[in-house]
Structure 1
Amino acid sequence: MCGIVGYIGPKQAQNILLEGLRKLEYRGYDSAGLAVYQDGRLNVRKTKGALSALEGRLNGSPLSGEVGVGHTRWATHGKPSDENSHPHVDQQRRFSVVHNGIIENYMELKEELAEKGYSFTSETDTEVIAHLMADLDDGDVVSTVRKAVRRMKGAYALAIASVSEPDKLVAVRLASPLIVGVGEGENFIASDIPAILQHTRNVYVLEDGEMAVITRDGVELSTTGGQPVNREMLRVTWDAVTAEKGGYDHFMLKEIHEQPKAIRDTLAGRLKDDSVDLSWELSGLSDDLKQIDKIHFVACGTAYHAGLIGKSVVEKVARIPVEVDVASEYRYRDPILTPSTLVVVISQSGETADTLAALREAKKAGSKVLGITNVVGSSVAREADEVLMTWAGPEIAVASTKAYTTQLIAIYLFSLYLARLRGTWSEEELKRATAAISALPEQVQRILDAPEAIQRFARSIAEHEDLFFIGRGLDHAVVKEGSLKLKEISYIHSDAYAAGELKHGTLALIEDGVPVIALATQPSVYEKMVSNIIEVKARGARVLGLGLEGDTELAKSVDETITIPETLPLFTPVLAVTPLQLLAYYTSIARGLDVDKPRNLAKSVTVE
C-alpha cells in the first residue's frame, strides 16, 4: 500500500504534491518522491526515508512547474533505497510513473525489455511499467497506457505524466484504490480522499479496469478498453480526520475491513496451475526444504499465535515435526538446532528485538532461517536466508489485525508448497486447498458485511471484568488471538483455554453470568466441543458460540451464535478470527476507550 498524488493546474505543483503526501504518509513511509514537468523535461526528486527527507532535499533544490505526480512508498519489490523510490522514468524520461500495487508478471516483462536493450536502475516492478510504455509509445499517451496495461497482470493504481503531452495526466486502476479530485481550473489524482480534501470535495472514485485522463479543465473517464464511463461525482462530507481513516471511526476498524484486499495481495502471484508456487521466492532454500527434518516457529505476541496455527498446519500438510516458541524465551532455553532445522521467524515490522535475537541465534548454530514479515528492507528481511513477504500494507492501529491474517496466509502458502515439494499431499488435495484459499477474501468480506450480532454481544459484555474463550484444535490457537485482542484494547481480563482442559482446574473460574466465547469450527472435535460448552453452561456461563454456516446443532447449546462461511477445516482460522477482532473492537468502543492507542502498548517492540 503506497500513497499517490497527482496535480495539474495553475499553481506550483511541488507544494500541492507534498501537502497531499503528508496526508497519505500513513500508507507508506520508507521513501518518497516527486516528478514535475517544466520546459520539456520531467524533473525528478526522490529519496529513501520519510517524507521529511524529501522535503529537506527539495529545500535546497525545489522543483518548479504546474504538472506533476508524487509518491510515498510502502516497499514491495526492492528494498527501500533512492533507486527504488518512485517516481520511475524510462531511459529517455518520456514517461514518469507512480504506482501502488504489484505487477505479477513484471519479471517476464523485464526480461523481454532487457533483450530489447532497455536497462534498469532499480529492483522494482514499477520501473518496468515506464520502460514498457516507452517501448509501446505511439505518440498518444492515452493509447500507449492502454496498450501497456493490457500487457500487465496483477494489481495497480497508476498516475502517469508524459513529456509528449504535458497538458495531461493519466490515472488507471485495477484492484488498488484511486480517486480523481475535480477543482476549478485544476484537477487532482490521489490514492485516498485526505490528500485532496483541502482543495476540493468533489471526486470521482475509479472502479477496476477504469482510467481517467485529467487536464486543467476537465476529466474524462473510460474503461482501459476505451469505452466511455458516465459516473456521478461524489461530494465528500467527511471532515479531514475522518477522511484519513477512509470514513471509518478508527484505523483498527479500517484495517479489519482491509483484510480481504490484504489477503488477495498476499496470494497474488503465488497460486499457479491449481497449486502453490513459491519457487522464485524461496529458490535459495529449495534443496534445504526437501531435507529439513524439523521446523521451529519463533515469534512474539500476535505473530506467535500465527506460529501456533503454523505448527498444526505444517504437521498436517507437510508431515514435519514443528516446535513453536515465544521469541523472548527461545535462545535462553538453549534450543537444539542443526543444519537440518529450519527456523521460521515471524514479525510484522521485521524489527522485533527478541525475534531478531532468535534469528541470529539460529544462523549462528548453522540452521537456515525463513522470515515472514510485512516490511521490505527490515532487519528480518535482510538477515533471513529467504523471506516470504506479507502484503498487508502499513498497520497504524497498535492492535494487529490484517498483519495477522496475512501471516496466516503466508504460513498456509509455505505449508502447501512444502507438501508439493515433498509429495505429502496429492495433486487433488492441493487443488482443493488452492480453491479454498482463493475463496477466503470473499468469505471474509461476507463476515464484515454482517456485524450486527457481534455488536450486540459486545455491548452486553462491556461491563464485565472477566471473560473466557475456549476451543479445541485449531480453534484453541484462534481463541488465544481473540483473547489477546480483547484484553489489549478493552482492558477486560480475558483468558483462552483448551476446552478439553476445563476439568483440570479452569472450570472453577466459571460462575453465574460469566461470558464465554466458544469456537466450534473443527469437525474432528465438534461433538467433544459441544460437550465442553454444556459443561460451562451448567455452571452458569453465558455462551456465545461461533460455528459454521448450516450448523443447526450449536444454537441448541449456547445463548447466542455467530457463523462463518464453510471452508476446509484447515482454513477456518482466517475466518474465525475476523468476528473476534470485531468483538474486541466493538467492546472497546462500548467502554469508551481509545481503540487505536491502547494504554502501555506500542506498535513495534524494538527492545528486549
Structure 2
Amino acid sequence: MCGIYGYIGEHSAAQIIVKGLRSLEYRGYDSAGIAVIDNVGNINISKFGEHKSSIDKLTKSIKDNKFNGNIGIGHTRWATHGEISKNNSHPHSDSDNTVAIVHNGIIENYLEIKQKLECLGIRFSSQTDSEIIANYLSYEIKKGENLLKAVSKLKKVIRGNSSILAISISNPEEIIGIRLGNAGGIVVGLDDNATYISSDLSALLPRTNKILYLENQEIIKISNRNYKLYNSDLEEIDRSPQKIEVDKYDVDKGEYPHYMIKEINEQPNSIQSSIAGRINFSSNTVILPEIDNKEINISEFNRIIFTGMGTSLHAAMYGAYIFENILGIASSAENSSELRYRNPVIDDKTLLIAITQSGETADTLSAIEHFKNKSCKVISIVESFGTEASRISDSTIRIKAGQEIGVAATKTLTSTMVTLIQLALFFNLDLNKSVGNTISSLIKDISILPSSISEVLNCETEIKKLGNSMSGYSNILYLGRGINISTALEGALKMKEIAYLHAEGYPAGEMKHGVNALLGSKMPTILIIPDDELFEKNLGTINEVKARGSKTLVITDSNSKDLRTLSDDLIVVPKINNLLSPILFIIALQIIAYHTAISLNLDPDKPRNLAKTVTVE
C-alpha cells in the first residue's frame, strides 16, 4: 500500500527522493516524509501527516540546508496502523535518532515485539507497527551489530509481509533493504553515478532502466555506484541487473483536470495498444507469443478459475463468462482473499488465471502461490513484466494499457477485458475449433471497438448531466443480467470509490428476493440493458422498479421505443457484439461516477482511504 524510495549518489538526495515519492503517491497519500544523512553524519527527518497536501509541504520543507546529504530514504503512506498524523508518518527513527526506516507492509506480531522492547526501557512515539523496526535495529546496533546484520535478524523477529529500507549513522554510506513475503516489491535501479531503490519500477524509469528485483527473503546493501545482494543467511548472491524495455508513458494530465478523466479518454488508444500485433483481422487469428503451448496446453484442463480483487475481480467474472461461452470449459471467478484461505479442490487439470494490474496485489500473489504449490498452471494478466506476479506465474500476458495514475481503475479494466477475449480466442484456435460465424463476427467487432469507444466518449456532455443528477442521492442501485452482472458491480464500485455514495450492484433476477424492499423515490436505479436474448426480461425489470417509485437510468445499445418510453433517462451506446458491449457500458458508468464526484467537489484521483496498489492483506 505504501511507497518507499531511496537514493545514494553524487547529488543532493532530498529533491530526488521527493520526486520519486510523487511517482509513488498513488500507493498512498495519507502522509509523506524523508530521512537524509547530512554531510556531518546526522539523520535529518521531515514528514507530514496531512493527507493529500503532505508531499507539497514536504517539498517546501527540504529547502533547509540540513537536507544537503547525498543519501536518504522516503515514504508515502497509506495508513494501516494509527491515525493520519505527523507522529505516525514515516520515516520512523529510534529515540536517539541513530537509525531511520521506511516500511511497506504489516507486522502481525508488533504488539508482542513492542512489549519486549518497552521492557528494555525503549519508548515509542507513534501508534504504528513500523516504529518497532527502527527501535529493534537500534537495539541490535548498540549490542555491536552493523546495520546489515541487524536488518538480517528481522526475518526471525517479525511476522507478516514487509519491505523495509534502513539507514544508520553507524553505516552512513549505505542503505539496507529487505523483502519478506509479498508486501510489494523492492526494485533497485543502477546508473553510473547513483543507485536508486523503490517499491515500484515506474518510479525508477525516469532515472534508469538498469534494474534488479529483490525476491522474498533477500537483502540488499546499496552504496554509491554498486550493490551487494544476500540471501537471508547473508550469503552473497551473484545476480546481474537486467535492462528493462518498457513503454514511455505520458504521466502528465495535459488538458484534463484529473488523471481519471484523462485515462477514461485514453481508452480508444489503450484498447488499440492491447490488440496491436495480436489479432490478424484478415485471417481471423490471434497470436500470443507470451503463451507457450508446451507450458500451457489448454486441452489438458477441464476447469478454469479466474481470480482478482476489486475491479480485477469484476474483470475475472467477465473472463469466466467469456471462456465458458467461447471454449465450453467450466469457468468461475473467485475473490483472491477468499480463494487463498478456503483450500479449494484443485488439481493439475485446473488452470488459474490471476488478474492483478499492478502485479503486486498481496492476496492475488498468495492465491498464485497456493495454486503453484498444488502443481497447477498459472497465467497472470498484468500491466508490466518484471512484477512479482509475472515472475512466479507460468505465463504472463501484458494488458498494454499504459501507466494508470488515477486510483480508480478505468483503462486498465477495459484493456484487461480485451486481453481476456484475445486469450479465449487464442485458446479456441489452439483447440482446433473452427472459426465459425460467431467468432468471425466477434473478431470483426474487436476491430471497431476503439471507434465505438470514441462514440461513447463523444457523449460525455450528455452523460455528465446524469452524473450531476446522481450527486443528489445517497443510495444508488445498479442492475444487470448475465455477462453484465459484473458490469453492474463495477459501476457501483466506481461510484463508491470516488463519489463516496452507497451504491449496490445486483443481478436483476435478485430483485424479488429482498432487494425490492430498498426501492423508492430516494434510491435511483441504473439498469444495464443490452439488446440480447434477455431484453424482454429486462423490460419487465424496469416496470418492477418504476412501480415502486424509483427513478430509472438505462444504459443500452438498443433503439427500442419501449425502452425510451419506460426509462426516465437513457444512454444509448453503439451496437456491437454482445460479448464486447459491457466495455462500452462500463465506460459510460465511469463517466457517470467521475462527474458525480466532481459535482460533489471531490478529487477522483485521490479517493479517501484508498491506494492504487494493495500490497497488504
2:504 aligned residue: 495
Contact persistence 1:317–1:425 (CA under 8 A): no
Structure 1 equivalent of residue 410 of structure 2: 401
1:271, 1:419 → 2: CA distance? 13
Q: Does 1:429 align with 2:435?
A: no
Q: Residue 595 in 1 paired to residue 604 in 2? A: yes
Once the 2 structures are TM-superposed, how far is the Cα of residue 515 of structure 1 from its aligned partner? 1.0
Residue type matched to 1:245 in 2? K
Superposed displacement of residue 451, structure 1: 0.9
1:390 aligns with 2:402: no
Measure the CA separation in 1 of the matches of 2:389 and 2:278. Answer: 21
Task: List gaps (5 residues or longer) in structure 2.
Answer: 1-10, 27-184, 196-202, 214-240
Match of 2:521 in 1: 512
Q: Distance in 2 between matches of 1:276 and 1:24?
A: 43
User: Which position in structure 2 is the counterpart of 1:246?
Assistant: 254
- Superposed CA offset, 1:363-395 (max 9, x none): 100110000011210011111100111111111
1:270: Cα distance to partner? 0.6
Q: 1:332 to 1:271 in 2, by over 3 A?
A: same
Give 1:286 shift. Answer: 5.9
Q: Structure 1's 585 and 28: CA in aligned 2 closer, same or farther, altered over 3 A?
A: closer
Question: Given that residues 311 and 490 in structure 2 are in contact (C-alpha distance below 8 angstroms), is that contact kept between their aligned partners in structure 1?
Answer: yes
Partners of 1:397 and 1:279 in 2: how far apart?
A: 29
SS at match of 1:245: coil
- Please list, as runs of the form range in 1=range in 2, the aligned pairs for 1:432-443 lying within 5 A after superposition: 432-443=441-452
Question: What is residue 583 of structure 1 aligned with on the other side?
Answer: 592
Counterpart amino acid of residue 361 in structure 1? H
Who is 2:104 aligned against? Answer: none
Aligned to 1:466: 475
Corresponding position: 1:256 with 2:269: no
1:325 maps to 2:334: yes
Deviation track 1:494-517 (CA, whole Å, cap 9, x = no partner) reads: 001111110111001001242110
Give the structure 1 partner of residue 579 of structure 2: 570
**2:302 equivalent among 288, 293, 298:** 293
Deviation track 1:285-307 (CA, whole Å, cap 9, x = no partner) reads 56621221000001100000001
Amino acid at match of 2:512: K
Unaligned runs of 5+ in 1: 1-13, 30-48, 61-70, 85-120, 127-155, 158-190, 195-243
Structure 1 match to 2:428? 419
Q: 2:277 aligns with which of 269, 276, 301?
A: 269
What amino acid is the match of 2:302?
D
Seen in structure 2, the aligned counterparts of structure 1 residues 540 and 264 have a Cα distance that, compared at 3 Å, is: same
CA–CA separation in structure 2 for the residues paired with 1:393 and 1:74: 15
Deviation string 1:425-466 (CA, Å, 9 cap, x unpaired) is 534433222111121111111111111221111111202111
Q: How much does 1:415 deviate?
A: 1.0
Please list the CA deviations of residues 54-85 of structure 1 after superposition, one character each: whole Å capped at 9, or x if unmatched: 6x85469xxxxxxxxxx97499xxx964499x
Normalised to the residue count of structure 1, the TM-score between the two structures is: 0.63
AA aligned to 1:278 is I
Whether the aligned pair in 1 keeps the contact of 2:318 and 2:483 (CA below 8 Å) is yes
- The 10-residue stretch of structure 1 (541-550 or 588-597) with the greater mean CA deviation from structure 2: 541-550
**Residues 27, 575 of structure 1: alpha-carbon distance in 2 compared, 3 angstrom cutoff:** farther
Report deviation, 1:276: 3.8
**Which structure 2 residues correspond to residues 122-521 of structure 1 after superposition, within 5 A?**
244-272=252-280, 273-284=282-293, 288-521=297-530
Q: Tell me, what secondary structure is at the counterpart of 2:533?
A: helix
SS in 2 for 1:338: coil
* Residue pair 1:27, 1:73 contacting (<8 A) in 2 also: no
Deviation at 1:550, TM superposition (A): 3.1
Distance 1:424 1:443 in 2: 29
Q: Contact between 1:25 and 1:51, CA under 8 Å: does it hold in 2?
A: no
Q: Is the 8 A contact 1:466 1:493 kept in 2?
A: yes
Q: C-alpha separation between the residues in 1 aligned to 2:273 and 2:386?
A: 18
Q: Does 1:525 align with 2:539?
A: no
CA spacing shift, 1:518–1:74, aligned 2, 3 Å: farther
User: Equivalents in 2 of 1:386, 1:28: separation in Å?
Assistant: 30
The separation in 2 between residues aligned to 1:384 and 1:514, in whole angstroms, is 44
Q: TM-score, normalised by structure 2?
A: 0.62
- Tell me how large the CA RMSD over aligned residues is: 3.3
Other structure's SS at 1:570 match: coil
SS of alignment partner, residue 334 of structure 1: coil
Do the aligned partners of 2:318 and 2:486 also contact (CA within 8 Å) in 1? yes
Contact 2:264/2:410 (<8 A) preserved: yes
Task: Give the secondary structure class of the aligned counterpart of 2:371.
Answer: helix
Check whether the contact 1:512–1:540 (CA below 8 A) recurs between aligned residues.
yes
- Secondary structure at the aligned position of 1:479 is classed as helix
Q: 1:321 to 1:380 in 2, by over 3 A?
A: same
- The alignment partner of 2:468 has SS state of helix
Q: Say which of 537, 554, 574 aligns to 2:546.
A: 537
| Residue pair 1:516, 1:542 contacting (<8 A) in 2 also | yes
For 1:303 and 1:522, locate their aligned partners in 2 and report how far apart those are by CA, in whole Å.
Answer: 26
Give the whole-Å Cα distance in 2 for the aligned partners of 1:72 and 1:416: 36
Separation of aligned partners in 1, 2:187 and 2:320: 40
Deviation of 1:330 after TM superposition, in Å, equals 0.3
Deviation for aligned residue 1:552: 3.1
Counterpart of 1:266, as a letter, is S
8 Å contact from structure 2 (residues 467, 592) kept in 1: yes
Q: Distance in 2 between matches of 1:506 and 1:577?
A: 22
Instruction: Tell me if the contact between 2:527 and 2:555 (Cα under 8 Å) persists in the aligned partners.
Output: yes
Checking the alignment, whether the CA contact within 8 Å between 1:245 and 1:254 is kept in structure 2 is yes
Distance 2:348 2:388 in 1: 22
Q: Any idea what the Cα deviations from partners look like across 1:225-268, whole Å, max 9, x if unmatched?
A: xxxxxxxxxxxxxxxxxxx3111010111111111111111111
Aligned length, in residue pairs: 411
Q: Which amino acid aligns with 2:517?
A: A
Residues 348 and 287 of structure 1, relative CA distance in 2, 3 Å threshold: closer
SS at 1:439 equivalent: helix
Please show how residues 21-170 of structure 1 align to structure 2 within 5 Å: 57-58=192-193, 73=205, 81-82=210-211
% identical equivalent positions? 32
In structure 1, distance between residues paired with 2:186 and 2:336: 29
SS of the equivalent of 2:615 reads coil
Change in CA separation of 1:362 and 1:586 when aligned onto 2, cut-off 3 Å: same
SS at match of 2:614: coil
After superposition, the C-alpha distances for 1:298-334 in whole angstroms (9 at most, x for unaligned) are 1100000001111111001000001211000002211
Render the CA deviation track for 1:526-570: whole Å, top value 9, x for unaligned: 000110011000100100111115333311111010011111101
Instruction: Note closer, same or farther for the CA distance 1:293–1:594 as it changes in structure 2 (3 Å cut).
Output: same
Q: Please tell me whether the aligned partners of residues 296 and 342 of structure 1 are also in contact (alpha carbons under 8 angstroms).
A: yes
Counterpart of 1:33 in structure 2 is none
Task: For residue 366 of structure 1, give the secondary structure of its aligned residue in structure 2.
Answer: coil
Which string of whole-angstrom CA distances, capped at 9 and with x for unpartnered residues, describes residues 96-151 of structure 1?
A: xxxxxxxxxxxxxxxxxxxxxxxxx987779xxxxxxxxxxxxxxxxxxxxxxxxx
